[in-house]
Amino acid sequence: MSPKSGAHPHPEPDPLISFAIRRVLTAIPLLLGVATIVFLVLSLAPGDPSAIYFGPGMSPETLEGIRRDLGLDDPIVVRYFRWLFSFARGDFGYSFASNMPVSRRILAALPNTLVLATVSLFLAFSVGILMGVVQAVRQYSLLDSALSGGALFFYSMPSFWLAIMLILVFSVNANEWGWPMVLPVSGVVGTDHDLLGPIARLGDRGKHLILPVLSLTLVLTAGVARYVRASMLEVIRQDYIRTARAKGLSEFRVIFKHGLRNGLIPVVTLFGLSFPFLLSGAVFIALSRPSLIQRSQPAGRLPFSGSMTAMPPSGQPHISSSTLMSSKVVSATGRKIVEPGMFEIMVGSSSAEEIKQSIELAVLPCNNVEMTFKKFYPLLHYLEQKTNINVRLVVPTNFAEFEASLKHGDIDFALQDPHTYLALSDLLEKTKLLGSLTMKGETAHSGVVIVKENSRVVDLADLRGKTVIFGPEASMSKWLAAIWLFKEAGLDIDRDLKAYVHGGCCEDIAFNVFLGAADAGVVCEHFLAEHEERQKDLGLESNRIIVVSRTRPVPTRIFAPRKGTPADIANKIHQTLINLDIKNPVHMKILHRAEMGGFKPANDADYEALRPLMGEWMADQRVPHHGRNGSGAQGE
């Protein structure tokens, strides 16, 4: 019986849409199961995620407070459902390794990871398809055998091992083997990227992509080529290919218009599966790049130890680092003996013919050596461009090493804190002193004592019996000012504090205070005023950090030549630094990277007022002082 007039039968559902809905619904329990297994495996694995924040002298109560603040003392079932519900809301949690929310870490790193994977995917399929077609057309030829052997070789090779071999060939041993260019092994751009023109910047980015892209592309290209070869061999034996040839079509048109079009149908599936493969391969390739799988070095810890010598070719910096156990290390130039613990970085050209004069500039770091290089490379590059003098950055790791290097003439210039200058002023040329300026153009800065909100600490007297993190010993001037501040408040740090330690950079100290690993910390005042964005990256909530006191201002860093440095070189460097003007856009980028506002002439008398703060430090410096544990024993 026909349907009534005006009635509309229900349309049949689209089979493709129905299939897609079923696949999505079946994927939900699968993803939930995988996520649950991963959570349980990580939770039950040995170790404590909060251990990254533990420090010497911490009481069991402080350690337990850190675990409680992080939610690690809850039962595993409670933590699982808290994580699951947070994940469903789009809150991916907080990264202990990167010190920031995971979602912010992903968003910040996603562009670099996508660029690396997309470029690798495009090159791999472009070259792989071409290789597969050639192999299919020239089956069993010498070319087919050579390409098949090469494809099998690279396809069988782990991507991380291939990356290591590429670094050894095209970076570490590039100069020795005569390659025209040393390829960078880390970073997305060079340290002088901001100083380059538009075209040079594009080239800089491309140069940094070569090694990681090669590491991923070679392996994937080999697989694509084998896949296309097998598909094309089947296609070119079909009847319609013989018909096309019989019609007199050119071989190129037969293969690429009729054959390849059908031969690529199964390759489309491979294309979709290859993108996750590239992301997983990037776990091993991009560890030194700011990508999705990078695990940041914890604040205050050196990413490497021993000696480091960098040999940049043709003005491009290149770093090769390793842990060295020998008593002395000869740099690859054969011109310099590097003592253990001394970090030396050459900036500029490695060719002795290009630049005749060389100087060594020492910087005592506030944080790790790698960060010091990144901060000061643009300044050194600027000095080299303006003076035509080859500049090596030397980073002594302690005062004794710095003093020995000055006495032996291994250092020509030093950018140091005032306390170091006062202790070694007899070794430095006092007539060529330069004082560094803050970003506000001032010649002095203060430290501030910070505590966490609701800590019940309102002034220094409340810190009696508490744990305090002071600044690093390399920034002793601010540390001495803080000790003087405590003395004025009637506190003896050895007798009245529960424990005190030397922290790393200001970020490290502030983060430990925020977590409750310490009751108070001393940081640079400009850190709170000028680094709000950096605090957000760390996950710090600025409104929960309270300043309870300020130190007296202490002079900023001093730039001075060593006695005996040739006068013409000293004059060139002196004048070049004075000419830096923060109002100049190019100079501003250089100075901002170094966290300075410029330089101005200074006199030895400008620093005499600091001597009362130093007390017995100069006499005690031969026995390094690293802090005190809770029992009152002096640390080594």
207-243 pLDDT per residue, tens: 888 888 888 888 889 989 998 999 999 999 899 899 9
* pLDDT over 90 percentage in the chain: 12
**pLDDT at position 543:** 65
Q: Which of 90-94, 186-190, 310-314, 615-619 has the highest mean pLDDT?
A: 90-94
Question: What is the average pLDDT value for the chain, to the nearest integer?
Answer: 75
| Residue 160 confidence (pLDDT) above 80 | no
**pLDDT at position 535:** 55
Exposed, middle or buried by CB within 10 Å (0-12, 13-18, 19+), for 333?
Answer: middle
* Interatomic CA distance for residues 610 and 416, integer angstroms: 14
**pLDDT at position 319:** 29
Residue pointed to by tokens 């990078």: 294
Residue 253 DSSP SS3: helix
Interior angle at CA 391, CA 387 and CA 392, nearest 5: 170
What single DSSP character describes residue 361? Answer: E
Q: Which residue has the higher pLDDT, 622 or 259?
A: 259
Residue 117's nearest CA partner among 213, 204, 26 is 213
What's the rounded mean pLDDT across residues 281-289? 50
Q: Are 228 and 131 in contact (CB under 8 A)?
A: yes
Q: Which residue has the higher pLDDT, 170 or 617?
A: 170
Q: Which residue has the higher pLDDT, 136 or 323?
A: 136
Which residues make Cβ contacts (< 8 Å) with residue 226, sequence separation at least 6?
Answer: 132, 148, 151, 152, 155
Which residues make Cβ contacts (< 8 Å) with residue 24, sequence separation at least 6?
Answer: none
**pLDDT at position 133:** 94
Confidence of residue 309 (pLDDT cuts 50, 70, 90): very low
Q: Following CA atoms 364, 369, 374, 379 in sequence, which dihedral angle do they give, to the nearest 10 degrees?
A: 30
Q: Which residue has the higher pLDDT, 184 or 137?
A: 137
What's the rounded mean pLDDT across residues 277-284? 61
Q: Are 565 and 409 in contact (CB under 8 A)?
A: no
Length of the chain: 636
**pLDDT at position 58:** 62
| Residue 598 confidence (pLDDT) above 80 | yes
What does the buried/exposed string (b/e) look like for 161-173 if buried means 16 or more CB atoms within 10 Å of the residue's CB?
Answer: ebbeebbeebbbe
Q: What is the pTM of this model?
A: 0.53
Confidence of residue 579 (pLDDT cuts 50, 70, 90): very high
